[in-house]
Amino acid sequence: MKYWLMKSEPDVFSIDDLKKKKKTHWDGVRNFQARNFMKVEMKKGDKVLFYHSNADPSGAAGIAEIIKEGYPDHTQFDPDDKHFEPKASPQKPYWYMVDVKFVEKLKTFVPLNEIKKNPKLRKMKLVQRGNRLSVMPVEKNEFDEIVKMGSK
DNA sequence: GCCAACGTTGGC
DNA sequence: GCCAACGTTGGC
């Protein structure tokens, strides 16, 4: 089983929205590296840290789980959608998404500065300079450490 | 293939 | 709102 971190802007879709909706499809990712993680590497049952980006403060908010593996993101075919991709067709999709379900909300929110302060988390892609990936792999020990920080 | 211009992300 | 860092596009 693998572990992941997925960023979402809470103004758009927060952990509370996921809790209410129970599950969601993770559409709108338009970055090749992030796409490949979703298309190729994410497997049913993988655990996801739900991260609030562009937030006040930003940080880890909860846990989700992959319930459907990579399939074409329908928003790329819709000319009226913000994420329309003119070069894509249903026969040749460019972009992929996964479905995730709500697992739990962390008892205490783990802000980014706490993550940065923890020596065990120094190697996380998240805290490395200039990393803007919205979907990224996380090591099991890092995942566990953040969950531990959030369960106090 | 290089690189400037432009767009986007995301912390602060 | 600012701006650094990065990705993408397009002219050459």
| pLDDT tens digits, one per residue of A81-98 | 888 888 888 888 989 999
pLDDT in tens, A24-78: 999 999 998 899 999 999 999 999 999 999 998 999 999 999 999 999 999 999 8
Rounded to whole angstroms, how far apart are CA atoms A4 and A25? 15
**CA/C1' separation A145–C8 (Å):** 36
Residues 6+ apart with CB under 8 A from A148: none
Residue A137 structural domain: 3-150
Nucleotides of C under 7 A from a protein CB: 5-8
pLDDT band with cut points at 50, 70 and 90 for residue A10 = very high
**CA/C1' separation A131–B10 (Å):** 9
Q: Residue A149 corresponds to which tokens in the numbers above?
A: 């920080």
For chain A, give the mean pLDDT. Answer: 93
What percent of chain A has pLDDT above 90?
79
pLDDT of amino acid A128: 87
Amino acid at A57: P
> Which nucleotide's C1' sits nearest to the alpha carbon of A35?
C7
Say whether pLDDT at A139 is over 90.
yes
Say whether pLDDT at A13 is over 90.
yes
Q: Which residue is nearest to nucleotide B11 (CA to C1')?
A: A54
Question: Considering its fold, how many domains does chain A have in total?
Answer: 1
Say whether pLDDT at A131 is over 90.
no
Assign residue A41 the CATH number of its domain.
3.10.590.10
**CA/C1' separation A152–B7 (Å):** 41
Using a 7 Å CB cut-off, which residues contact strand C? A 31-33, 129-132
Return the percent helix, strand and coil in chain A, to nearest 5: 30, 30, 40
Segment A120-136 shows an average pLDDT of 89
